[in-house]
Amino acid sequence: MAAAEWWLECDSCGRQTESSELAACANCGEATVIRYAALPQTLASPNTSGIWRYRDWLPIAAQTAPISLGEGETPIVRLDRWAGQIGLRRVYAKLEFAGPTGSFKDRGAAVLVTHCVESGARVIIEDSSGNAGAALAAYAARAGLECKVFAPAATPAAKLHQVRVCGATVVTVAGDREDVAIAAQAAARSGHRGDYYAGHNSNPYFVEGMKSFAFELAEHREAGVVDHVVMPVGGGSLYCGAALGFGQMRQAGLRAAHPRMHLVQAAACMPIVAAFDRHEDRPPPVQPSPSIAGGILIANPPRGRMILRILGESDGSAVAVTEEEILAAQTAVARLEGISMEPTSAAAFAGLARLARSGAVGPDEVVVVPVTGSGLKDQMAVSNARP
C-alpha cells in the first residue's frame, strides 16, 4: 500500500486532518480514526506471523520494517467448566496476556511504535495506568527510541517496574487518570521536535493494532461464527479496534461475523454504561471511586462517542459489575479453568455472567471474552483485596 491510501478522520463529525499526532478532532473533540481508500481482498499475507500477517490492513508503508516482539496469534481456549456454571455451552477465552509484555496492549504498541519510527519520532510520551505504558516502553526500547510514561501515583508496582526495566522514564502524577493524560499532553507540547504524544486512549495508530484481534477470530475455525464479544472497557482501544476490524472485513466483502459487541465497566467508574442506560450519545461526567479494576477507570474516555456508536450499531449491551462480582469471577475462572487474570480482565467475565442471567446471551451462542492482562500484573491488588 502507498501512503496516499489512508487518512485521519474524526469518527464523529468526519473532519479530515493531515496531522499524525492528532489526539482529538479540532472541530468536535472526538477521537480520530484511520480511513482507507481501498481494502485488501485477502486477510493474511503469506510468510508473515503475528499481527503482521495483516499488514496490508495497517497504515504502515510496505517498505517499513515492523517493530515486533512476536505479538498476536494469542491462544483461544474453550471454557466448558466455568461456562457450565453460568448456563452457557460455547464460551471461548482469548488469552491476550500471552504475549511479549503480558497484555493486549502489545498489538497496539507494535503498530504505534512502528509508525513513530516511520514518522521520525525520537521520544514517545504516553500516559497509562500500567499495561499500555509497559507495552510502549518495551517496543520503544526495541526500536531504540526514548520513552516517557506518565502514570497515576496508585499504579501497581509490577506495572511500573515493567516500564522502568525497559529503560523508560516514569513520571507519576497525583490526581485522577485524566490529570495524568493532561500532564503528558502538556509535556509533549512543550517539548522538542521529535516528541510524540502517543496517548493510547486517543491515538488512532494504537487502535489499528487492535484490529488484528477481530482478524484472528475470523481465522479461527470455531470462533469465526462468533455471536457475542464481551470486553472490559475503559478507554476502549480493543473494543473500537475489534469493531473496526470486523467492519472492514465486511466492507471488503470477506466472510466475517457481525458479533454483538458487549462492554463491561466497574460500577466504580461507568461513564459508558450511564450513557447507554440513558440512551445518550456521549458519556456524562462521572466521579470514579477506587476499584481493583485499575485498567478501566477512565472517567472521561476520549473515544466515548465512538464506543457508544459501536454499541448501538452492533446491538450490544453495556453492563456494570461490582468489586465483589469481579473478585468472584476472577476466582471462579482460575479454579475451574486454570486461567489467572488481573481484576480488570475478570470484570468481563463477571459481565458475561450477568448477560447470561438476563438472557442477552443464549446458552448455545458463541461468546468470546479476551483475557486482557495477566494475573501476574496486579498481584498486589489481588493480595490486598482478598483476605
Q: Contact between 334 and a copy of itself (CB under 8 A)?
A: yes
Position of cell 461526567?
Answer: 285
Q: Please, is 387 exposed, middle or buried when counting C-beta atoms within 10 Å of its C-beta (0-12, 13-18, 19+)?
A: exposed
Min dist. Cβ of residue 141 to a copy of itself (A): 4
- Of 1-9, 99-107, 233-241, 284-292, the window that binds a copy of itself (rule: CB under 8 A) is 99-107
Of 372, 367, 149, residue with least CA distance to 262: 367
C-alpha count within 13 angstroms, C-beta hemisphere, residue 173 = 25
Min dist. Cβ of residue 205 to a copy of itself (A): 18
Considering beta carbons, is residue 53 or 303 the nearer one to a copy of itself?
Answer: 53
Cα three-residue angle 380-273-159, rounded to 5 degrees:
20
Min dist. Cβ of residue 123 to a copy of itself (A): 16
Phi-psi sector, 38: left (phi>0), alpha (psi -120 to 50), beta = beta
Q: Contact between 46 and a copy of itself (CB under 8 A)?
A: no
Of 246, 237, 236, 204, residue with least CA distance to 8: 204
Selected binder of a copy of itself within 69, 231, 233, 238 (CB under 8 A) = 69
- Of 76-84, 198-206, 249-257, 312-320, the window that binds a copy of itself (rule: CB under 8 A) is 76-84
Q: Whole-angstrom Cα distance, residue 52 to residue 72?
A: 9
Q: Contact between 81 and a copy of itself (CB under 8 A)?
A: yes
Size, binding site for a copy of itself by CB under 8 A: 50
Name the DSSP letter for residue 337. Answer: H
Min dist. Cβ of residue 322 to a copy of itself (A): 20
* Straight-line distance from the first to the last Cα atom of the chain, in angstroms, rounded to the nearest whole number: 55
- Of 19-27, 92-100, 115-123, 124-132, the window that binds a copy of itself (rule: CB under 8 A) is 92-100
| Helix (H) or strand (E) segment spanning residue 118 | helix 105-118
Q: Whole-angstrom Cα distance, residue 374 to residue 102?
A: 6
Position of cell 470514579?
Answer: 288
Give the per-residue contact string, 212-251, with a copy of itself (x = CB under 8 A; - = no): ---------x------------------------------
Is residue 386 within 8 Å of 248, Cβ to Cβ? no
Considering beta carbons, is residue 141 or 263 the nearer one to a copy of itself?
Answer: 141
Min dist. Cβ of residue 112 to a copy of itself (A): 13
Instruction: Give one DSSP letter per residue of 366-380, joined into a string.
Output: -EEEE--BBGGGGHH
Give the per-residue contact string, 165-204, with a copy of itself (x = CB under 8 A; - = no): xxx-------------------------------------
Selected binder of a copy of itself within 39, 154, 171, 336 (CB under 8 A) = 336
Here the cell at position 378 is 496486579
Q: Contact between 76 and a copy of itself (CB under 8 A)?
A: yes
For the segment 116-175, give every residue that binds a copy of itself (CB under 8 A): 137-142, 144, 157-158, 161-162, 165-167
Selected binder of a copy of itself within 8, 33, 51, 100 (CB under 8 A) = 100
Q: Whole-angstrom Cα distance, residue 106 to residue 374?
A: 13
Q: Contact between 384 and a copy of itself (CB under 8 A)?
A: no
- Of 93-101, 278-286, 313-321, 355-363, the window that binds a copy of itself (rule: CB under 8 A) is 93-101
Q: State whether residue 285 is helix, strand or coil.
A: coil
Position of cell 469493531?
Answer: 243
Beta partners for residue 93, in sequence order: 77, 369
Binding-site ranges for a copy of itself (CB under 8 A): 47, 49-50, 68-71, 73-77, 81, 95, 98-102, 137-142, 144, 157-158, 161-162, 165-167, 221, 330-331, 334-340, 374-377, 379, 382-383
